[in-house]
Amino acid sequence: MTTLPELDEAARVIRHHLPARPSVGVVLGSGLGGWADELADLVKLPYADIPGMPRPAVAGHAGMLCAGRVGDVQVACLQGRAHLYEGHALAKAVFGVRVLARLGCRAVLLTNAAGGIHHSFAAGDLMLITDHLNLMGVNPLVGPNDEALGKRFPDMTYAHDPRLLELARAAANDAGVTLREGVYAALLGPTYETPAEIRMLRTLGADAVGMSTVPEIIALRHMGVPAAAISCITNLAAGLTQRELDHAEVEETARASRARFSALLSAWVRRAGEGAAAGSAS
Tell me: does residue 253 bind ligand HPA (CB under 6 A): no
By CB under 6 A, name the one of 209, 220, 228, 229 that touches ligand HPA.
209
For the chain, the straight-line distance linking the first and the last C-alpha, in angstroms and rounded, comes to 33
By CB under 6 A, name the one of 193, 197, 216, 251 that touches ligand HPA.
193
Q: Which is nearer to ligand HPA, 11 or 32 (CB)?
A: 32
In contact, 23 and 277? CB cutoff 8 Å: yes
Q: Which is nearer to ligand HPA, 174 or 252 (CB)?
A: 252
Of 147-176, which residues contact ligand HPA (CB under 6 A)?
Answer: none
185 closest CA partner among 217, 148, 142: 217
In contact, 138 and 90? CB cutoff 8 Å: yes
Q: Which is nearer to ligand HPA, 161 or 197 (CB)?
A: 197
By CB under 6 A, name the one of 76, 109, 211, 264 that touches ligand HPA.
211
By CB under 6 A, name the one of 114, 123, 220, 230 that touches ligand HPA.
114
Omega within 30 of 0 (cis) for the link into 190: yes
Compute the distance between CA of residue 56 and CA of residue 220 in angstroms, rounded to an integer.
20
Q: Which is nearer to ligand HPA, 78 or 113 (CB)?
A: 113
Q: 3-state DSSP call for residue 216?
A: helix
The footprint of ligand HPA on this chain (CB under 6 A) covers a number of residues equal to 13
By CB under 6 A, name the one of 107, 219, 237, 272 that touches ligand HPA.
237
222: left (phi over 0), alpha (psi -120 to 50) or beta: alpha
- Work out the number of other CB atoms within 10 angstroms of the CB of residue 20: 15
Compute the distance between CA of residue 80 and CA of residue 149 in angstroms, rounded to an integer.
24
Closest separation in Å from C-beta 113 to ligand HPA: 4
Tell me: does residue 183 bind ligand HPA (CB under 6 A): no
Dihedral sign of CA atoms 173, 177, 178, 184 in order: negative
Tell me: does residue 210 bind ligand HPA (CB under 6 A): yes
Q: Which is nearer to ligand HPA, 189 or 279 (CB)?
A: 189
Chain center to CA of 273:
17
Q: Which is nearer to ligand HPA, 136 or 272 (CB)?
A: 136
Tell me: does residue 127 bind ligand HPA (CB under 6 A): no
Q: Binding residues for ligand HPA, per CB under 6 A?
A: 113-115, 192-193, 209-211, 234-235, 237, 245, 250
